[in-house]
Every structure is written in C-alpha cells, then in structure tokens.
C-alpha cells in the first residue's frame, strides 16, 4: 500500500458564523486545519495510508488537534509532543466584492520552535513512497525551515518522491526571503505545485498576458511559467491552478499540468464558494493520489481539479469527499442533482 507523509503546522481555526465580520461577532466557531494536514486528510479519505508530522503541545488543545486528524484515519504516531502553544488563525469569510481575510496568531507555536533533533526522519520515512510539504512551513520560522531541509535530505536518501506546494503567504515572510529559502529547498522537489501567483511572488517568474485581479488567465503565459520553473529547478512535473476570481463567492476554477515537454489543461468549473480555504491543498492531494494510482496526466489534472472543486462546497479546511464523488464530477456529472 502506498504511504504518504506530510509535514507542517496544524492550527486552531477560529471563524465568525456565516459571513459575519470579526468586529460583529461574539461567538467564533472552532476547527482545525493547515496546508499539509489538509492534504493528509484528503489522502486518508481517498484510502491512502497518510501520516502527518508536526510538533504539538501535550495539553488538551494539542490533543484536540491530534484527534481532529485521527477521526479521518490519518496516522498521528509520528507527531512530536512538546512546546507551549498551538498556532491559531482567524478567518473572516468574504462575500460579493468583499474579500476573505486571515489573521495569524502563530508566533512561538510548538512547530515554530521545533528543532532538527526533534524528528528522526530516517525512521519516519521507512516504507514511505511520497513526501509533501508547502512553502508555509519554512515561512513559520528559521528553525522550521531548517527542519524542512533535514526532512528533504532524508527523503531523498530514501528515494522518496517529493512534492511541494509553493503557497506564498505575504503575512509570514517577504518575497525576497521566500525566494532565498525556497530556492534552497527546490532541488529536492520532484513535483512543484503553485497557484497563479506563486511563481511570480516567490521566484519572480511572471505569466505574460495574465492579470489575476481581473481574472484574465493566459494559457500560453502559464506554459512559459512552467517551463521556466523546470529549467531553473529541474522539476519532473509542475502543476499550476488557474483561478479566475469573479467575486469572493464565485470563481472559475481550472489547472494546468506540465509533464516534461507536454501540457495538459483541465476543464473549467464555475464554482459558487461555500469555503475556499484548503482549495489548493485538495488539488495537491488529488494530484498526489492520481500519481500514486498511475493515472494518465490528463486524468490526473482532471481528478485533482474536480477534488478541489468539491472542496469549495465544504465548510472547514478538510476536503471530506470520496474517490467516487471526485470521479463522478471529473467524468462530467456536474449537475448537483440529489443522489438517491
């Protein structure tokens, strides 16, 4: 059975009810999520043996974060316990022309203060076929970046396939530091995943004739971006999600997948958004699953985009859908009719 390990931070998510603003609300709903944890949950729901690695405090909030993963079958046995706090993020959901907003409260979290000695990567990667991380993890702190580098070295020593979602977060670090640090990690990566802005923000590689703010996306421009990424870092594959933002509630959603010299574009979905957090993570998980199962490149990008399309309809960070549901949508059944 294929085994996947993801590494990063799982946070407590606090959000006003519905579309209320932070300043309106007196009751905040609590849930858990985070880029690599979201990927692990998606893969576990797809029937993959998925483990999530992080560091969490020993107290009850840390245990609640662990439990949120266990309920979906994610292996939490490699999580290190220690430190004093779980990172928090506050989410205000946007509507119409008002964008969503995220405020982080994650400084000095357990994983931010973790040391390389906390993790036995050689043991963690025993029997593992795939390792996934995102650009969020090395952005948390210099020590988290050092732990990520050690993980990548150990993964390559074990011939583990590595994927990375660039996931640039301007509230965590500057473009200059992101480019510097991520540039040292990319030589270990086989599959690079990005959204329509990441390559520009992190590596200064711009898509010609595209404007994400106006929703104008050029296929040819993103082909050039993928080629430039492959030329610079020698990736085997590059995937780029292509979001056309009409409003906070309505987006067009598609992706491009570059394998060598060949390019594959998915169908485009008109998405009415319930919750867009975790949309990119669900795409990454879908792509990992498709690769592990030997899907063709076109089948892979269609499966990944369909999985992510469904995530936009689900509250919370985690994509709680099955392989059958994804394949039905990828196969063309987008009617949304009642199933009975």
Q: What's the confidence (pLDDT) of residue 222? A: 86
Q: Any idea how long the chain is? A: 340
227 within a domain of the structure (yes/no): yes
Expressed in angstroms, the distance from the first to the final Cα of the chain is: 32
Give the predicted TM-score (pTM) of the model: 0.95
pLDDT of amino acid 184: 97
Rounded distance between C-alpha atoms, residue 294 and residue 102, angstroms: 37
Which spans in the chain are helix H? Answer: 35-45, 60-70, 121-124, 136-140, 142-157, 175-185, 198-203, 219-233, 279-292, 297-311, 323-330
| Residue 287 in domain | yes
Is residue 335, in this structure, part of any structural domain at all?
Answer: no
Backbone angles phi, psi at 69, to 5 degrees: -85, -40
4 close to 131: Cβ distance less than 8 angstroms: yes
* pLDDT value of residue 215: 61
- Parent domain of 198: 3-330
339 is a domain residue: no
Pull the structure tokens for residue 113. Answer: 């203060």
CATH number, position 74: 3.40.1190.20
214: CB partners within 8 A, 6+ apart: none
Based on the number of CB atoms within 10 Å of its own CB, is 222 exposed (0-12), middle (13-18) or buried (19 or more)? buried
| Residue 121 in domain | yes
336 located within any domain: no
In a domain, 108, yes or no: yes
In a domain, 128, yes or no: yes
The number of folded domains in the chain is 1
pLDDT of residue 201: 92
Contacts with 332 (C-beta within 8 Å, 6 or more apart), sequence order: none
pLDDT (tens digit, 9 = 90+) per residue, 122-149?
A: 999 999 999 999 999 999 999 999 999 9
Please give the pLDDT value at position 334.
80
CA–CA gap between residue 288 and residue 282 (Å, rounded): 10
Task: Name the stretches of the chain with pLDDT < 50.
Answer: none
State how far the Cα of 284 lies from the Cα of 132, in Å rounded to an integer.
9
pLDDT in the model for residue 196: 79
């Amino acid at each position: 059975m294929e085994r996947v390990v993801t590494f990063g931070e799982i946070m407590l998510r606090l959000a006003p009810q519905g579309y209320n603003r932070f300043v309106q609300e007196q009751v905040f709903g609590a849930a858990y999520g985070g880029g690599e944890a979201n990927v692990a949950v998606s893969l576990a729901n797809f029937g993959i043996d998925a483990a999530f690695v992080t560091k969490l405090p020993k107290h009850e909030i840390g245990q609640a974060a662990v439990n949120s993963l266990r309920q979906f079958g994610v292996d939490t046995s490699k999580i290190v316990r220690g430190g004093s706090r779980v990172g928090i993020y506050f989410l205000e959901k946007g509507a119409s022309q008002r964008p969503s907003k995220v405020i982080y409260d994650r400084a000095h979290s357990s994983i931010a203060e973790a040391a390389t000695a906390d993790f036995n990567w050689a043991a963690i990667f025993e029997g593992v076929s795939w390792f996934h991380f995102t650009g969020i993890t090395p952005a948390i702190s210099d020590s988290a970046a050092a732990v990520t580098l050690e993980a990548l070295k150990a993964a390559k020593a074990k011939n583990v396939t590595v994927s990375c979602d660039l996931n640039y977060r301007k509230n965590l670090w500057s473009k200059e530091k992101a480019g510097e640090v991520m540039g040292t990690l990319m030589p270990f990566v086989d599959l690079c995943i990005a959204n329509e802005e990441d390559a520009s923000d992190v590596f200064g590689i711009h898509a010609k004739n595209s404007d994400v703010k106006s929703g104008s996306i050029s296929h040819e421009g993103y082909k050039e971006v993928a080629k430039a990424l492959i030329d610079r870092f020698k990736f085997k594959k590059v995937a780029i999600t292509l979001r056309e933002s009409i409003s906070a509630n309505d987006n067009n959603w598609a992706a491009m997948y570059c394998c060598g010299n060949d390019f594959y574009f998915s169908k485009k979905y008109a998405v009415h958004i319930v919750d867009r957090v975790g949309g990119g993570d669900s795409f990454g998980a879908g792509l990992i699953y498709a690769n592990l199962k030997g899907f063709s490149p076109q089948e892979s990008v269609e499966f990944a985009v369909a999985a992510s399309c469904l995530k936009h309809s689900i509250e919370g960070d985690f994509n709680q859908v099955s392989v059958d549901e994804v394949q039905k949508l990828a196969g063309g059944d987008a009617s949304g009719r009642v199933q009975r």
